[in-house]
């Protein structure tokens, strides 16, 4: 089976299974177990301008159907990322999608500028994911992807910083009334693709201590529970593209994918690539396994090319 997928602007990936941002840091631990150059692309943890210690603890809660996190964009900052992580990703031959974040639209642009100026940029960075939907940042974060004008403003400032050969994917939140409105704002402002979805905002209460479990109160829900939400978001945006209501662009699907069949489900809804996130915590080899299972599944159904099934559920 030909698993090649096209993310636009000349970005061809050998297979459509990627890691999800934040679920495997910047790749070093995962690479000890299996070659990350064999993943369709490795998506890095969102990086801001300055080093971040993140939110207070506890900042993780497990639920039977998924995980609630309140990390708060912990990370080394773009300068350390460019100095250490990017050269390492290059040295192992990984295709990287770098996730960027900021507390202002100007910070997003600053991070993009520093990334593009890195000596390893051209050889390593296949695309940039613009994380406008982090639910765990005090003042802004989610606010961007909940508001079309703010989403557009971030993209408008980032686009001029990045060469056209490196597509920008805006990462959207499902926590909005109509995700097609945000999709349209991001695409019209110059995003060349969309990643859907970020985590769904939730709260857990510790019934022993009778108080909220997470230090930051709210967290983002991930895992199997949100897969139908991801499928719904991808479906709605892909349908709007097909109907000509919003610009057409590739979609990267993410949300509760654990198996090849799950990856196929997001693909049938309209995703041209699929990220594996929370599943990595139980099974670090999940991204490689999901790619294998997806290939086997298509083969068993007599489908020669992955690209042939993108969005086909809409035809029926």
Matching residue, tokens 């709007």: 240
* Closest residue to ligand DOR in the complex (CB): 220
Q: Are 206 and 212 in contact (CB under 8 A)?
A: yes
Tell me if residue 164 falls in helix, strand or coil.
coil
Least CB distance to ligand DOR at residue 201 (A):
9
> Which residue, 174 or 250, has its beta carbon nearer to ligand DOR?
174
> Which residue, 45 or 289, has its beta carbon nearer to ligand DOR?
45
Enumerate the β-bridge partners of residue 170. Answer: 130, 194
Shortest CA distance to 173 belongs to which of 220, 127, 241?
A: 220
Rg of the Cα trace of the chain?
Answer: 18
Positive or negative CA dihedral for 22, 26, 29, 35? positive
What is the Cα–Cα distance from 73 to 47, expressed in whole angstroms? 7
- Residue 241's region, left for phi above 0, alpha for psi from -120 to 50, else beta, is alpha
> Which residue, 167 or 223, has its beta carbon nearer to ligand DOR?
223
> Which residue, 220 or 260, has its beta carbon nearer to ligand DOR?
220
Matching residue, tokens 């031959």: 93
Least CB distance to ligand DOR at residue 43 (A):
11
Least CB distance to ligand DOR at residue 233 (A):
15
Identify the active-site residue in 17, 36, 96, 134.
134
Q: Are 252 and 18 in contact (CB under 8 A)?
A: yes
> Which residue, 137 or 231, has its beta carbon nearer to ligand DOR?
137
Binding residues for ligand DOR (CB under 6 A): 22, 46, 69, 71-73, 131, 133-136, 198-199, 220
Token pair, residue 233, equals 């978001």
What is the Cα–Cα distance from 304 to 308, expressed in whole angstroms? 8
What is the Cα–Cα distance from 278 to 281, expressed in whole angstroms? 6
> Which residue, 61 or 71, has its beta carbon nearer to ligand DOR?
71
Least CB distance to ligand DOR at residue 129 (A):
10
Distance of CA 89 to the CA centre of its chain: 18
Least CB distance to ligand DOR at residue 218 (A):
10
What is the Cα–Cα distance from 254 to 169, expressed in whole angstroms? 13
Positive or negative CA dihedral for 157, 130, 41, 76? positive
Least CB distance to ligand DOR at residue 13 (A):
22
Q: Give the side-chain half-sphere CA count within 13 A for 216.
A: 24
> Which residue, 81 or 288, has its beta carbon nearer to ligand DOR?
81
Mark whether 134 is an active-site residue. yes
Least CB distance to ligand DOR at residue 134 (A):
3
Which residues form the catalytic set? Answer: 134
């Amino acid at each position: 089976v030909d698993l090649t997928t096209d993310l636009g602007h000349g970005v061809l990936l050998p297979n459509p299974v990627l890691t999800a941002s934040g679920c495997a840091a910047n790749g070093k631990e995962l690479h000890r177990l299996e070659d990350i150059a064999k993943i369709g692309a490795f998506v890095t943890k969102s990086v801001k301008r300055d080093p971040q210690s993140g939110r207070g603890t506890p900042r993780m809660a497990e639920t039977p159907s998924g995980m609630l996190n309140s990390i708060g964009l912990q990370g080394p900052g773009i300068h350390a990322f460019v100095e250490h992580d990017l050269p390492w990703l290059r040295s192992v031959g990984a295709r990287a999608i770098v996730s960027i974040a900021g507390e202002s639209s100007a910070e997003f642009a600053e991070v993009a500028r520093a990334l593009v100026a890195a000596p390893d940029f051209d050889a390593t960075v296949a695309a940039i994911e613009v994380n406008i939907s982090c639910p765990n940042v005090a003042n802004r974060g989610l606010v961007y992807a909940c508001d079309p004008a703010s989403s557009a403003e971030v993209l408008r400032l980032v686009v001029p910083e990045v060469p056209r050969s490196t597509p920008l994917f805006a990462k959207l939140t499902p926590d909005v009334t109509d995700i097609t409105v945000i999709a349209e704002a991001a695409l019209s402002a110059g995003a060349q693709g969309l990643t859907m979805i970020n985590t769904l905002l939730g709260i857990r209460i510790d019934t022993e201590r009778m108080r909220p479990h997470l230090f930051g109160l709210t967290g983002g829900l991930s895992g199997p529970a949100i897969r139908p939400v991801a499928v719904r978001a991808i479906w709605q945006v892909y349908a709007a593209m097909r109907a000509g209501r919003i610009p057409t662009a590739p979609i990267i699907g993410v949300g509760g994918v654990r198996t090849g069949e799950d990856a196929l489900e997001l693909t049938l809804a309209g995703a041209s690539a699929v990220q594996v996130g929370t599943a990595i915590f139980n099974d670090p080899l999940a991204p490689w396994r999901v790619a294998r299972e997806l290939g086997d599944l298509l083969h068993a159904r007599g489908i020669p090319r992955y690209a042939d099934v993108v969005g086909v559920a809409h035809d029926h």
